[in-house]
Amino acid sequence: MNRAVVAFLAFAAGAAVPLVVEAASSAETYRQLNLFGDVYDRVKSDYVDEVTDEKLVEAAINGMLASLDPHSSYMNAKAYGDMQVQTDGEFGGLGIEVTMENGYVKVVTPIDDTPASRAGLKTGDYIIALDGKDVMGLTLQEAVEQMRGPIDSKIVVSIKREGVTKPFDVTITRAVIRIRAVRSRREGDAIYVRVTQFNKQVDSGVKQAITDLAREIGPDKVQGVVLDLRNNPGGLLDQAVAISDEFLDRGEIVSTRGRHPDDVSRYSATRGDMAEGKPVIVLINGGSASASEIVAGALQDHQRAVIMGTRSFGKGSVQTIIPLPNQGALRLTTARYYTPSGRSIQAKGIEPDRVVTQPLPDGVDPEDAPELRSEADLPNHLAGEGEEDTGPRSAQSIPDDRSQDAQLDQALALLKTLKVVDGKIAN
């Protein structure tokens, strides 16, 4: 078999020698590897245009991982570097969280105060072309790389939107995207904190926000905290654990369980409650995923907060970033998340304690509203335990006009009626 093919397969598995040994010991495995080698050699020798080894290898790896689940992927050295920068909270680009669906790039959520949000991109939009070139056939990584570029340079993004008859173009000017992951303000005598994603700045940002607003309101006058995780697509596990810990004095926060019985990790709370025993309400919707669901699930199971809104996205899988020397990194799904009570989040999401839907904007016909999708709708999604598609998912948008935010209004009204007894919400 082609030596380059053997090297590729060994590299994809993360260890060359064990894979070759396993291949030699299994006739069926060896037959499949030979099949791959035959196809690889035929493409290299006979395809109409010359193709580089790098392109074929990356495409093969991405195809293998894409067949597993929507969240496993390969990052070349550049993409891996970009990912590390993004989790630090600053990167260059348009300012959108995206995924790949049906061959096109789908907007998960525009990030606040970025070129994409100011240009009017919306959750559920499909990006079908970039600078006039169709994105069909590109990997997600390739599409993201095209959307990034020199600061102040322009890119034409072609959008297909539910309820709009024809695709339309939006010209966006690239900028340095500084993720302000935590936003806060006083709402009467309540503390309102919105977390837009879980990057490295979140825990310190939430602590600072609560401290500053409690001082402004007066510690004895604070009614409680509204933690807004709507449209938060997730991020770093350690930050989700840290935020949960800010409101819990004890007990498990989340556990992860992998393929083998001993692949179990548990994360527990330490003493200390930033809210100082005041009631907490967590707002979620169909755009709240992963780390957001960990926080909501932990506070819900411990009865430390009332979860309000609509059912969350249902991404309850753990992706481990495995660096590959001089070759980027592998993002591989290695475990599932479980709430303290043992509930699996995967493909189910978090059901709120109080279901409150966000009304559609004025003038929008319900029939023209974007179709709302969850983890369970994604092709090849990892199976959940007792998957159920129950409970409504609200439109994944937060009104720019504060006076139109019905979910927040109801949260603030409820907050006034809640009490905390022995660390638990008592209505």
Q: Which of 350, 349, 355, 395 is nearest to 372 (CA)?
A: 395
58 inside domain: yes
pLDDT value of position 89? 59
Question: How wide is the angle at C-alpha 178 spanned by C-alphas 193 and 173, nearest 5°?
Answer: 125
Number of domains in the chain: 3
Tokens 């995206």 belong to residue: 98
* Closest CA relative to residue 251, chosen from 341, 368, 379, 355: 341
Task: Kindly list the catalytic residues.
Answer: 290, 301, 315
CA distances from 314 to 108, 125, 294, 404 (A): 14, 20, 10, 27
Same domain, 117 and 194: no
User: Residue 102 is part of a domain; what is its CATH number?
Assistant: 2.30.42.10
pLDDT of residue 17: 45
| Structural domain span for residue 218 | 182-426
Q: For residues 344 and 195, state if they share a domain.
A: yes
Q: What is the pLDDT of residue 2?
A: 57
| Residue 122: partners with Cβ closer than 8 Å, 6 or more residues away | 107, 110, 161, 370, 397
For residue 80, tell me if it sits in a domain: no
- Roughly what angle, to the nearest 10 degrees, separates helices 202-217 and 237-247? 30
User: In which element (H, E) is residue 320 found?
Assistant: strand 317-324
Q: What is the DSSP string of 116-138?
A: HHHTT--TT-EEEEETTEE-TT-
Shared domain check, 94 and 70? no
Last residue of a domain, one of 178, 201, 224: 178
CA atoms in the 13 A half-sphere facing the CB of 416: 8
Q: What is the number of other CB atoms lying within 10 angstroms of the CB of residue 171?
A: 11
Do 246 and 104 fall into the same domain?
Answer: no
83 located within any domain: no
pLDDT at 389: 52
pLDDT along the chain (427 residues), means of 10: 51 47 65 90 94 90 91 86 68 82 85 88 92 90 86 93 93 86 95 94 95 95 97 92 97 96 95 95 94 98 97 93 88 95 94 91 63 79 70 64 93 96 87
Q: What is the pLDDT of residue 138?
A: 87
| Integer Cα distance of 243 and 70 in angstroms | 27
For residue 118, being part of any structural domain is answered with yes
Domain CATH code at residue 264? 3.90.226.10
